[in-house]
Amino acid sequence: MPELCTISNTSPLLYLHLVKQLHLLPRLYGTVFVPPAVVSELQAGAEHGVDVPKPEILPWLHVMPLASTASIPMVMDLGRGEAEVIALGLENPDSRLILDDTLGRRIARLQNLQFTGTVGVIVKAKQSGLVAAVLPIIVALREAGLWLSDEVVTEVLLQAGEK
């Protein structure tokens, strides 16, 4: 059973859903929490015709409201989802964040929060024997629109023992 509370932002849920790997989250982390802003972002995507996961039908995904808005980072270019994920991380010190946004990750690092991203989930799934190879999923993530530099892909393939 996972020892940390796992809190996800919108993009990992979206991209894992798009590449048919969303099932990895509960297998790796058990229950996954999202702040209200992530649910709102997913609903907004659905309203615009984007194929998004539906939080209400995922038994392992739970909305965790913020205890206080005071912990939300007030950073101009940080999206509401990322800000609320970081705030929940600050409110729950024994947590792991899943977020891809560069600025969000930088703020999480400055706050000494533990985090991973969509690709980190895939690497952990390979290390746990849940997926046979990382490369085909990386290709699918790129095709789905997740921007990954060639350097990141090379590093990920090295971590996964595929290069």
User: Which domain CATH number covers 102?
Assistant: 3.40.50.1010
> Residue 102 domain-assigned?
yes
Query: For residue 14, what are the contacts with CB-CB under 8 A and spacing of at least 6?
Result: 42, 45, 50, 52, 53
Range of the domain at 105: 5-117
pTM: 0.93
- Cα separation, 105 vs 78, in Å, equals 10
> Residue 129 domain-assigned?
no
For the chain, what's the residue count?
163
> Residue 75 domain-assigned?
yes
96: DSSP letter: E
Residue 76 has pLDDT above 70, yes or no: no
- Per-residue model confidence (pLDDT) at position 1: 39
> Residue 148 domain-assigned?
no
Q: Which helix (H) or strand (E) holds 5?
A: strand 5-8
Q: How far apart are the first and last CA of the chain?
A: 31
For residue 42, the tally of other CB atoms under 10 A from its CB is 22
> Residue 135 domain-assigned?
no
pLDDT digits (tens, 9 = 90+) for 11-55: 999 999 999 999 999 999 999 999 999 999 999 999 999 999 999
> Residue 19 domain-assigned?
yes
> Residue 59 domain-assigned?
yes
pLDDT digits (tens, 9 = 90+) for 77-128: 888 999 999 999 999 988 999 999 999 999 999 999 999 999 999 999 999 9
Task: Domain count for the chain, please give it.
Answer: 1
